Amino acid sequence: MKNCIIASTSTLYNSEYLEYLLPELASHFKNCKTVLFIPFARPGGITYDEYTAKAAEAFAKINITIQGIHTFENQKEAIQNAEGFFTGGGNTFLLVNQLYKNDLMNVLAEAIKGGTPYLGTSAGSNICGLTIQTTNDMPIIYPPSFQTLGIIPFNLNPHYLDADDKSKHMGETREMRINEFHAFNSAPVLGLREGSWLEVKGAKITLKGNLQARLFRQNQLAIELESGSDLSDLK
């Protein structure tokens, strides 16, 4: 049975990396001594080792060891043998490209759907949807496909920002960008605000955190969903 935390962000304003999620993660990974970290999104171009060390520092607070997938000669076997997964944020296009390049997308999806606990933040959450077409990231590299893990039957927009009526910025809002997506695509899109996450337990998908999320559906007005909302039937 699927067992996932799919979070908008790793870090809230004025807090430490993963700090706001640590109580949830202690329970989520309670049966894990080690978690396999996937650092392929490489935020800011830091090295895999540097990114893995950052994740390891946070997980040490809940007595869990982090192992970077890049340190394994056989990465498929590493996924198949993992006790748990964490895919960090960064650039979603880069992350997806590396997963396809190393032929890991399907094996990772199979492991997650088989019940291995998974944490995704930002880019690591984007890949849990149907495609990455609603990411905020620049397409700095061209992956073989936009299709991703399909852990949830809709798309995400992590770091969702509401329009600021006082701003002098004249470019498109996040809502306008998602509406552009829906001019050509029918998949629902959930805008996850900072500090919100989805809890996936088998077929049940629940919105968690203290904030509402904004749901966009093709040819419908966007609506606000309260924390605790059941999204299991969203497709």
- What DSSP letter does each residue of 118-136 carry, written as one string? EEEETHHHHTTSSBSTT--
**Bridging pattern class, strands 118-121 and 85-87:** parallel
Structure tokens at 136: 């905020």
Phi, psi torsion values for 20, nearest 5 degrees: -70, -20
Dist. CA 148–CA 126, nearest whole Å: 8
* Nearest of 55, 215, 22 to residue 124 by alpha carbon: 55
What tokens appear for 233 in the block?
Answer: 């039937």
Active site residues: 122, 137, 159
